[in-house]
A and B are shown apart, each in its own frame.
Chain A
Amino acid sequence: MISPLFLLVALPIFGLVAIIFRAPARLTTLLVCVANVLVVVVSGLQEFFKVHSFQVLSTHFLWEQSIPWGNLPGLGEVSFKVGVDGISFPLVILTVVVALAAVLVTPPRVERERLFYGNLLLVILGALGAFVSLDLFFLYVFHEVALIPTFLLIGMWGHGPRRVFVSYQTTIYLLAGSLAILIGFLILLNAMPAAHRTTDLVVLREWFLNQPLSRSTQVQLYAWLLIGFGILVGLFPFHGWAPPAYAASPTGLAMLHAGVLKKFGIYALLRIVLPLFPLAPRDFVFGENLVSLLIVGNLLVIGWVTIAQRRLDQMLGFSSVMHMGYLFLGLFAASQLSLSGVVLLMVGHGLSVSGLFAINGVLREKVDEGDMSRLGGLAKYFPFFSFAFVIFALASIGLPGLANFPGEVLIFFGSWKRYPLVTIAALFGVVISSIYLLRAVRRVFFGSVAHEGVRREIFLSSKIGILILLVSVLGWGLLPGLWSQKANASLSHWLGTDALKVAMKKRGNFNGNERSDVVASAGSELVGIRLFFVVDPSFFK
């Protein structure tokens, strides 16, 4: 039987072909998205009703299948291999849900409709393909597939006077990122003897578990990939492209990019970097202290920058960059707990931030004003959208019962012992994000009506799209237990208990006296940060 994952990838391609042959573009795209949701739901439920079927997720990939592609020079065996586990399945669900909502929220009248929806389908294809691929080559190619349409969508259908500049800036940043990733991948493959060379991730992981790379290679690779994926995700200080890009993007793209595509970087770090070079974070130039500084930059510096924003779209853009700080914290703390939190938060954040961007897009259609201080009282005109915005904002703040909280709390608990000071910064980040989000709610929706000329027509489809996200945010927040154990089991398998143990031993034993751990970590963090400013001895080794 053919894997449903192939179907997920094939459907957007069918849609594209249909649009090329002059099928009605919006309808086709909508159908593709609905079909994708159905595929995930139906095949997911099917698995669910097989006895204990999801349990295999901990050790196997679900719906694993592979189509041989051939032996490419320099790359080795390449095959289109798909499969999902507890890490990537939630992301696939996220992608199909956000994609559907993104198409629904897009206003019915778009210029050059066929080109627009064709590009949107390419973005969706890229995201889905990247999450289901278990092959380095295809992982990379699918990610690139989403890149070019981003450029076109911002440049041609974007908002604001600077959209052309922004589209170039975004593309150059992202291309620089993929370049770094490409270099990293090539170094990685080069480290394998040509006879064994393959891009199959499962094989790669096995190989490097048994023949670990040398320290220096690990560090070198880590540097390339951290910079590459860091740019994609908006790691401080490579975040500059993101806020203007989201502010200028057409709504559907902003939702897909901030909600889904951005998670690709985190996902790839989790899928590739952590299992393959477990030692690298430690031996990286300036060690962990550089990393903790970067996270603090994401959490606090960007947090404060967000507070200073005057426009709603810019504010949302910066806030989505800031929230990446939590994901990075969980990722670099690399305990099983924090990584489970990362998986949960990737989905939670994807849902809530795309909801926020969706409403921003709806408002953009209704009011010709983006400056928050000149808005006000919109709750009177749009009670449903205001309610939804408040819910998405509260979810972003990390309110229990909504989508972000389960992930955040696991990250805090999982990172606390390793990065106490950064965790404190992250906790304070929650205060900061409640300041800017609630301020935005108050300025835009509450108070007296400040802006004339509000167009009150509301498209049913955008209401449905936001409703879908609203229900998902509530569902993911109220029932996090549905997925947390599976993510946890898959993580423990994929990261390899041995590799993790070795890495953990390096990072200090967590099972010993826990108190001294926290104190020691905090102490070394402080010393390290100070050293970082003076000079790091490991730099000269």
Chain B
Amino acid sequence: MVMPSQFWWLILGVPLLVALFVAAVAHPFRKVSAALSLGSALLCFGVSVWGIVSKSMAPSFFSWLQAGSFSISFGFTLDGLAQVMLLVVTGVGFLIHLFSLGYMRGEKGWSRYFGCLSLFMFSMTGIVVSNNLLMIFIFWELVGVSSYALIGFWFERDSAAAAANKAFIVNRIGDFGFLLGILGVWTLLGSLNFVELKNGVAISQLNGVDQTLFTLSILGLFCGVMGKSAQIPLHVWLPDAMEGPTPVSALIHAATMVAAGVYFLCRIFFLLELAPIALQVVAAIGGVTSLFAAIIATQQNDIKRILAYSTLSQLGLMVMAVGVAAPGAAMFHLTTHAFFKALLFLGAGSVIHALHHEQMIWQMGGLNRRMPITALCFTVGMLALAGCPGLSGFFSKETILAAAWAKNPVWFWVGLLTTFLTAFYMMRLLVVVFWGEEKSRSAKEAHESSWVMLVPLFLLAILSVVAGWGHVLADHIGFPQNHEGTGGSFVMGASITVFVLGLGLAWLSYRNRSKEIWHWPLVEKAFGVDRIYQKVFVRGHDVLSCVWSGIDRFLIQGIVVRGGAWTVAGMGHVCRAMQSGSLQGYVFLFGVGLAIILWWLWKG
């Protein structure tokens, strides 16, 4: 049965209503808010599947804000790209809702947590289905705020509150460029709607449009992506965002929201490819980010931070894929990455939960025996991420590497190096956490988690294995995959080699070790970028504020405004009167006013 097209509004409306209802009414009732939130996530997934399977049409748009001929409207795009992303977001989203039931048990802010999750589902599906730039911007901001609320979930902790602020402000800096880009595109091409833009570009081929301004506008849009997908130099917020609950890290800061930037790049790829310089910048930023983050990940000691840097690195790969004109490969990797990275985070969550919020990998060890199912699922996820042949991550990474090889071998080598490092740090993680001896008491007392947490793990593990098989997914996305065959066997051979090398090196280095053997403080501190930013931008900005504050108080208020008034109108007398607290100043001004009125009456 074909789904009535108006049903599509449910995937936006229901989570929003749930979020509002939980905030306004249901927050004292824990079971109600969790049930509503879980139900709405399931409903979204159901509606998406039904609508996509029955090929339901997009509903008509409605105008949200209209002033004269300008209007901001909400409408749906439901092409293959959006369909794949929609299934990923609602599917993974539902599984993580389920996992949260176990992970967040007994938390004080339980209802707040589920309310925010629903707000996030609303905003994220909004990004996916948007049919115009301003609508995407609106939901872009809303995912930002749900991310802010969830990173700062434990707001009593100073570090969590700081991380939430950092995430929001860094994203805001990116969105500053994003909105400028939107304004630029609007001015240059006269529309914000994707279909209209596409048609317009297809007909005129940017005739009469200034190429420099166009490139600048596209780079502006890319700024938004750098913020949301945490690309260098705006990457600093993502590792800190791990202060949030682990399911949130899995859903928002690994699988979906941070990937929204890549999704957006694919969505506007028809504009990107008209700006070759912008495309090169995109490739460079992505490539550098992927390598940079992979290097840092090899030296981290917090299980969530390792995964966070790994996410940065994989996002870099996807952005690089868009930059080498392979958006299909980027989306493919986005999808498989959503499965195995959500799996890894949930696995880590299961471990952290069992170890009573212990996150240091050197306090773990031997969990293979204590938590066999978690260990099995985690291993599957790790192999998929590292690029083990036959698993989903292998295929998607292959597509990216092949595309890079065809377009610009520099980015191929960068990708290859990243692949090697990925295999290395993931194997290190696996060996230290799950193999060998228990390294702490809490590791000795660990228990397998409950089924609500294991079922999502299991399902995600299956998806991580099969998502790359055949070309079902890749073909559905809707970008032609024309890079296969070019250097195919060489690329594949190289990546399998580095996978084995990375695995082997990590196994040799970390087998039976109870502490780190390589020490690179600079890498461990993420090259000190945070410190530099803190010193230069944050401190610099504060100093600037103080300087302006002084100028405002003494120069502008003290001399320009008042001093001017003194000399011009003899205000000095009034101000002295003012100081003494008498009414004279008031009366004086009143008198002046009266005199002027009388003069005018006399004159007129």
Given A304-B544, A514-B187; A438-B589 close (CB under 8 Å): no
Q: Closest approach, in angstroms, between the C-beta of A519 and any C-beta of chain B?
A: 7
B596, A307: Cβ atoms under 8 Å? Answer: no
B155, A445: Cβ atoms under 8 Å? Answer: yes
Q: Is B169 an interface residue (CB 8 A)?
A: yes
Given A169-B578, A337-B70, A380-B156; A182-B596 close (CB under 8 Å): yes
Given A164-B581, A412-B183, A442-B162; A305-B549 close (CB under 8 Å): yes
Given A237-B560, A409-B72, A481-B64; A427-B180 close (CB under 8 Å): yes
Chain B: CB-nearest residue to A336: B68
Q: How far is the CA of A211 from the CA of B590 in the complex (A)?
A: 34
Kindly specify which of B76-84, B134-142, B379-387 makes contact with the partner chain. B134-142
Question: In chain A, residues 36-80, which have Cβ atoms closer than 8 Å to a Cβ of chain B?
Answer: 73-74
Q: Is B269 an interface residue (CB 8 A)?
A: no
* Residues 396-423 of chain A, each 1 if its beta carbon lies under 8 Å from chain B, else 0: 0101110001100110111011000001
The interface residues of chain B lying within 8 Å CB-to-CB of A164 are 581
Kindly specify which of A200-208, A482-490, A532-540 makes contact with the partner chain. A482-490
Q: Is B517 an interface residue (CB 8 A)?
A: no
Task: Report which of B157, B162, B210 forms a contact with A515, defined as CB distance below 8 A.
Answer: B210
Q: How far is the CA of A413 from the CA of B69 in the complex (A)?
A: 12
Q: Which DSSP category, helix, strand, loop or mixed, fits chain B's interface?
A: helix
Given A168-B578, A515-B213; A304-B67 close (CB under 8 Å): no
The interface residues of chain B lying within 8 Å CB-to-CB of A397 are 172
Given A394-B145, A413-B186, A515-B210; A305-B561 close (CB under 8 Å): no
A168, B586: Cβ atoms under 8 Å? Answer: yes
Q: Which DSSP category, helix, strand, loop or mixed, fits chain A's interface?
A: helix
Given A74-B600, A172-B574, A446-B161; A308-B70 close (CB under 8 Å): no
A481, B549: Cβ atoms under 8 Å? Answer: no
Residue of A182, A406, A435 most packed against chain B (CB within 10 A): A435
The interface residues of chain A lying within 8 Å CB-to-CB of B165 are 438-439, 441-442
Q: How far is the CA of A151 from the CA of B145 in the complex (A)?
A: 40
A515, B172: Cβ atoms under 8 Å? Answer: no
The interface residues of chain B lying within 8 Å CB-to-CB of A423 are 183
A175, B589: Cβ atoms under 8 Å? Answer: yes
* Residues 546-568 of chain B, each 1 if its beta carbon lies under 8 Å from chain A, else 0: 10110110001100110001000
Residues of A within 8 A of B (CB-CB), count: 79
Q: Closest approach, in angstroms, between the C-beta of A81 and any C-beta of chain B?
A: 22
A179, B601: Cβ atoms under 8 Å? Answer: no
The interface residues of chain A lying within 8 Å CB-to-CB of B585 are 168, 172
Q: Is B541 an interface residue (CB 8 A)?
A: yes
Q: How far is the CA of A443 from the CA of B12 in the complex (A)?
A: 34
Q: How far is the CA of A307 from the CA of B541 in the complex (A)?
A: 9
B176, A427: Cβ atoms under 8 Å? Answer: yes
Q: Is B466 an interface residue (CB 8 A)?
A: no
Chain A: CB-nearest residue to B569: A176
The interface residues of chain B lying within 8 Å CB-to-CB of A409 are 65, 72, 134
Q: Closest approach, in angstroms, between the C-beta of B599 and any C-beta of chain A?
A: 9
Chain A: CB-nearest residue to B214: A515
Range, interface on chain B: 35 or more
* Residues 572-595 of chain B, each 1 if its beta carbon lies under 8 Å from chain A, else 0: 001000110100011001101100
* Residues 145-174 of chain B, each 1 if its beta carbon lies under 8 Å from chain A, else 0: 100000010011110111011001100110
Chain A: CB-nearest residue to B165: A438
Chain B: CB-nearest residue to A155: B581
Given A172-B586, A423-B183, A427-B176; A442-B161 close (CB under 8 Å): yes
Q: Is A434 an interface residue (CB 8 A)?
A: yes
Chain B: CB-nearest residue to A435: B169
B67, A341: Cβ atoms under 8 Å? Answer: yes
A480, B578: Cβ atoms under 8 Å? Answer: no
Q: Is A496 an interface residue (CB 8 A)?
A: no
Q: How far is the CA of A441 from the CA of B161 in the complex (A)?
A: 9
Chain A: CB-nearest residue to B541: A307
Q: Is B528 an interface residue (CB 8 A)?
A: no
Q: Is B604 an interface residue (CB 8 A)?
A: yes
Chain A: CB-nearest residue to B67: A340
Q: How far is the CA of A321 from the CA of B243 in the complex (A)?
A: 35
Q: Is A518 an interface residue (CB 8 A)?
A: yes
A481, B161: Cβ atoms under 8 Å? Answer: no
Given A423-B183, A427-B176, A485-B66; A186-B600 close (CB under 8 Å): yes
Residue of B63, B142, B586 most packed against chain A (CB within 10 A): B586
The interface residues of chain A lying within 8 Å CB-to-CB of B501 are none
Q: Closest approach, in angstroms, between the C-beta of B157 and any C-beta of chain A?
A: 8
Across the A-B interface, the 7 shortest Cβ-Cβ residue pairs: A446-B161, A308-B545, A308-B549, A340-B67, A400-B138, A307-B545, A240-B557
Chain A interface (Cβ < 8 Å from any Cβ of B): 73-74, 151, 164-165, 168-169, 171-172, 175-176, 178-179, 182-183, 186, 189-190, 194, 237-238, 240, 301-302, 304-309, 336-337, 340-341, 377, 379-380, 387, 394, 397, 399-401, 405-406, 409-410, 412-414, 416-417, 423-424, 427-428, 430-431, 434-435, 438-439, 441-442, 445-448, 480-481, 484-485, 487-488, 492, 514-515, 518-519
Please name 14 pairs of A and B residues whose Cβ atoms are closer than 8 Å in the assembled complex, sorted by A.
Answer: A164-B581, A176-B589, A194-B604, A304-B544, A341-B67, A427-B176, A438-B165, A441-B165, A442-B165, A446-B158, A480-B65, A481-B64, A484-B66, A515-B188
